Structure 1
Amino acid sequence: MHSPAEVPVMVKRLPHFEGLELPAYATDGAAGMDVLAAEDVILPPLGRHAVATGLAVAIPPGYEIQVRPRSGLALKHGITVPNTPGTIDSDYRGELKVILINHGEAPFEVRRGDRIAQLVLAPVTRAAWLKVEELDETLRGEGGFGSTGGVIAFDEQVPSTSAS
């Protein structure tokens, strides 16, 4: 039986999933489920590949599954998900694949059964655009990238636009 915090998600195991485990939470406090590779792949440095998982899902309306990198792969090997977080929409019924990229200096071997990413089920709030002529004013205003500071080295490299 599932708790009120659990949302049932239908999952179809494709033929090449045979012998693998369904995505699972590693601990009681984990937000993401580890998903496994259903194929062997060698990622050369800067190489990308959509790694098969052997799973297709039916996500309930009002939810998405976010695909996020595994921190250990990113730190130790430079392996990450380039479109982080990747989104699997509730109306998609094809195979769940995880796009991986190798930012490391050496080829990286993904073996069938390796934990390659985390899946996070998340609610979706849809926007309804409200057309206006003017927006309300804020202290930040139109200040863009780096305008709120925080990284001293970044702030020092930005050329000044004021006259001396």
Structure 2
Amino acid sequence: MIPDIRVLREPWADPAIPLPAYETPGSAGADVRANLAPEDREWGFTLDPMRRAVVPTGICVEIPPGYEIQVRPRSGLALQHGLTLPNTPGTIDSDYRGPLGILMINLGPHPYTIHHGDRIAQLIVAPVVQAAFSETDALSATGRGAGGFGSTGRG
């Protein structure tokens, strides 16, 4: 069964901007686009190096219980311009109904202008399992034990 993600446009949003969509039949992520405020639409929004900003999408989503949406960077923007998401992957919970904004950062050396309608991130719809957390006096032993960062080998 394919989850149905219901999408509501914000009152100010430009209805000409497409809803999130899979660009190829094998895409795991649906591209989401910038839907800029009316005053920013003509010139775009410039993200200076090392600056973070929330870029509006103009939409709110209703995610079915048992699912989440993961927000991930677009590889081309990251490789070519240094644009990424500082909280990658971001999570949109199924009980959130507010505006979907994409937290972006410019790690590149040059300012980058995000234009109205640009594809800025990918949305991955994924199942969620909630676990029970219980306190214990000891944990079971493993070969790795308490080895943390870099403990299993080089890099």
TM-score normalised by the chain length of structure 2: 0.92
**Inter-partner Cα distance in structure 2 for 1:11 and 1:66:** 16
Q: 1:9 maps to which residue?
A: 5
Counterpart among 111, 117, 142 of residue 146 in structure 2 = 142
Identity %: 55
Q: 2:121 maps to which residue?
A: 117
Tell me the number of residue pairs that the alignment of Structure 1 and Structure 2 aligns.
Answer: 147
Contact 1:17 1:55 survives alignment (8 Å): no
**Inter-partner Cα distance in structure 1 for 2:85 and 2:7:** 22
Question: Matched residue of 1:91: which SS?
Answer: coil
**Inter-partner Cα distance in structure 2 for 1:63 and 1:120:** 10
1:39-65 CA-to-partner distances (Å, cap 9, x unmatched) read 131100000110000000111111111
Q: 2:39 maps to which residue?
A: none
Cα deviation, residue 18, structure 1? 2.1
Q: 1:30 maps to which residue?
A: 27
User: Which ranges in structure 1 are unaligned for 5 or more consecutive residues?
Assistant: 152-164
Q: 1:42 maps to which residue?
A: 46
Question: Matched residue of 1:16: which SS?
Answer: coil
1:17-75 CA-to-partner distances (Å, cap 9, x unmatched) read 32100110011111100000011311000001100000001111111111000000000
Question: Matched residue of 1:90: which SS?
Answer: coil
1:58-137 to 2 correspondences below 5 Å:
58-137=62-141
Contact 1:62 1:124 survives alignment (8 Å): yes
1:117-144 CA-to-partner distances (Å, cap 9, x unmatched) read 0001111111201221111101111111
Paired AA for residue 33 in structure 1: A
**Inter-partner Cα distance in structure 1 for 2:151 and 2:46:** 41
User: Which ranges in structure 2 are unaligned for 5 or more consecutive residues?
Assistant: 37-43
Q: 2:15 maps to which residue?
A: 18
Root-mean-square deviation (Å): 0.9
* Residue 52 (str. 1) matches residue 56 (str. 2): yes
Larger radius of gyration: 1
Question: Matched residue of 2:13: which SS?
Answer: helix
Q: Higher relative contact order by CA 8 Å / sep ≥ 6: 1 or 2?
A: 2
Q: 1:161 maps to which residue?
A: none
TM-score normalised by the chain length of structure 1: 0.87
